[in-house]
Structure 1
């Protein structure tokens, strides 16, 4: 692909999870895969250093609070295949990774359904202090019924109702992060003995439908105050939520046409919310299998595929779609699916077709998602992959790619060795990092929320904050 004199920069995130074989079922068995070391802190610190060496924007750590027990109405298959269980907490990883890096960002997934916003606000502020402003929060509303049951509920709220709760959850957090402490509240005056001026710390007096939080934030202002807000919902309700809150949006689609449509909807919604079309970076899910040549990359892909678990893929897809895929024969075509889980996942899968235009069967779904999950897989040498990435960006208007792995850290090491040098030779990939916070690195507008962002309306002095 011929680049222009000023090619658009491509951005990368690494997509991981504190478990084995995150999106690629069965690949934990591959001799090159280290995901079984997820319990070892050195796995995470080594990975952080590797990604910073490749100038990745950050590592995006997914999470679920529950097991994938939709398939067969049991978590037996999930346990047997290691499908995102066992799974550990993502937040506890960040301090260690931050201690061995200077620039890498950290996108942490945490839900709005089962933790009160008051203690969560303090945990994120703590990390923003310790990382010097490199924390982002991926806001999820939850989709696994098992999580709801284990938190004392009979099932998830309906899809849109979960977003209504999340709207108020964010309101509480913005009030705490943006509207409680003034920037100069901490005076640390040794002579007078005054550490904090009480007149500059304000209770938020929030009394809403779902939450009552009358008091002050427990943490003094961090570098960013509010973390960078990430969001991955691509349903109509999810896009509306993203348009009001997100500074980075993760999307996924099986075809370039569907991806372009989703990206356009996100950018249109940002404008409708009074923000710039490019106020949020948009990353699309992709798994890259690469090597020195196209032939070596294809052989590597075939090798990986021989370890993949189609059963594990169906377990994950059942959870993502909210539909028990064990109830159909493997050669039955996928039909329209009504989902109370990830609606965009169900819609994309239902629309998927084979090369002959026929609808995917259950077997097709298992085979196509056993490596890389819901995102497509790109296979080729460095130049071939660079061509493809630039083509996708040109056709869809994405900013970058949320790179899942087949094997870890090998998939990302291969991208750094074979793809990034090719992109850099074309002037299409950064050679280093901007200084400052994660927010500034992503958008170049400083450490704090921009004035037009929803959260900025809750700053001290705004009518939205009482105190």
Structure 2
């Protein structure tokens, strides 16, 4: 395999890694998540290693059942607490030059005009290194309750997201022509009025009439990512996403989702190869397999079945501990929260049907993103090559067990093996995040993206 892997780093502004209560490990510095130097130090290191982007997940939600916070979430820091990652973007940008930065924002919480303005400003501040991870909201039950709202049905949230994103795209692509900014001091022309346009949108959920007050950024539209593999989520990704974040797990299930989204993109008139897929994964490596497996077992001592049930409730609203542990979840199980984390265990798209007890153990061992590679650098590189070949994915969004220990091993042991095999390079493609994904020179949305139709 000669494909260069896209590698991102997944982080919450939170104290734990992706499984259990890893904050309790004596070497874990993630408890410093509200210290700005914690993030600037990590960002510098990620850039030196050549990672394509740093990805910040986010949600206003937290684990709850029957409209009450789950005590285990508070006690053991499971999907709780979380800070607001958008405020760290400028600090990370100030200490790096090439590292991409992806920030999550929910279409259920923020109005599209506010997101368009904020992200256009940050794309200027980062010199074109910003991405928007578009979500309809994780932990949506508690999030809706926090805002004093009723829970919006799952598919309706995607209808709202489409309306939301269309306004943002119209503002980014339609308000300013690329050469509208003149900065002509002698001629007293800051911008050419003939090239700055008001947009109009009257949708079923959002409306807008006016213009974006922020001049064009290097990408004009920040790079667009999306996660979610329910049927409605895949349609949304196929139409709008440039990068898709998939949970890990079974190779056949991942491959089916990649193929399905690519096929849907083609049906929408887009180049299916233009969508890049990154799979959530953890890497535990050491000079010997025995050492790597010992690290894995040490981390699992910090993860309990109750932790797993709490995390699963956060994503789905389902209480696995109250169910028959030996029975399958059932292919007809529906949730108005996160359907993707139901479908991956109930036979959808070739996934193996698992019992409730098996789902809990999977979440205990692997967290929400499902794929864990354990072994020597050479062993993991072999597995990665086979994984990419089988799934047609483009890379990984790497989840930490420990900070900075996960990254120490990744950078010092595994990346040199990837470089030796040509799987990754510490050199960046282009200067913008879109170029890191799509190749040098591709700073703007592709012409076949629906956002391009909003250009004057």
Instruction: State TM-score, norm by structure 2.
Output: 0.94
Q: Distance in 2 between matches of 1:311 and 1:140?
A: 27
Aligned counterpart, 1:28: 23
Q: Quick check: 1:249–1:283 contact (8 Å CA) kept in 2?
A: yes
Please name the residue that 1:162 is paired with: 157
Mapped partners of 1:142, 1:209: distance in 2: 20
Q: Say which is worse superposed, 16-25 or 393-402, in terms of deviation.
A: 16-25
User: Aligned partners of 1:79, 1:361: CA distance in 2, in Å?
Assistant: 24
Q: Kindly indicate whether residue 450 of structure 2 is the aligned counterpart of residue 450 of structure 1.
A: no
Q: How does 1:285-434 map to 2 (within 5 A)?
A: 285-328=280-323, 333-336=328-331, 337-351=333-347, 359-362=354-357, 364-374=358-368, 375-434=370-429
Question: SS in structure 1 opposite 2:120?
Answer: helix
Q: Structure 1 residues 191, 431: CA separation in 2 closer, same or farther (over 3 Å shift)?
A: closer
Shift of 1:329: 5.4
Give SS of 2:374's match. strand
CA contact (8 A) 1:232 1:249 kept: yes
2:84 matched to which residue of 1?
A: 89
Structure 1 match to 2:204: 209
Match of 2:4? Answer: 9
Structure 1: where are the runs of 5+ without partners? 461-467
CA RMSD of aligned residues (A): 1.8
Indicate conservation of the 8 Å contact 2:174/2:197, yes or no.
Answer: yes
Name the counterpart of 2:243. 248
Please say if residues 177 and 455 of structure 2, whose CA atoms lie closer than 8 Å, have aligned partners that are also in contact: no
Match of 1:139 in 2: 134
Distance in 2 between the 1:266 and 1:409 partners?
Answer: 34
Question: Is 1:266 the counterpart of 2:261 in the alignment?
Answer: yes
Distance 1:33 1:65 in 2: 24
**Do the aligned partners of 1:124 and 1:227 also contact (CA within 8 Å) in 2?**
yes
Secondary structure of 1:257's counterpart equals: helix
Alpha carbons of 1:199 and 1:371: their partners in 2 closer, same or farther (altered >3 Å)?
A: same
Q: What is the CA-CA distance between 1:439 and the residue it aligns to?
A: 0.6
SS at match of 2:284: strand
CA distance in 2, matches of 1:359, 1:291: 31
- For structure 2, the residue ranges without an aligned partner over 5 or more in a row are none
Instruction: Please say which of residues 325-334 and 18-27 is displaced more in the overlay.
Output: 325-334
Tell me the number of residue pairs that the alignment of Structure 1 and Structure 2 aligns.
449
Give the match for residue 55 of structure 1: 50
Q: Quick check: 1:58–1:104 contact (8 Å CA) kept in 2?
A: yes
2:191 aligned with 1:196? yes
Q: Aligned with 1:103: secondary structure?
A: coil
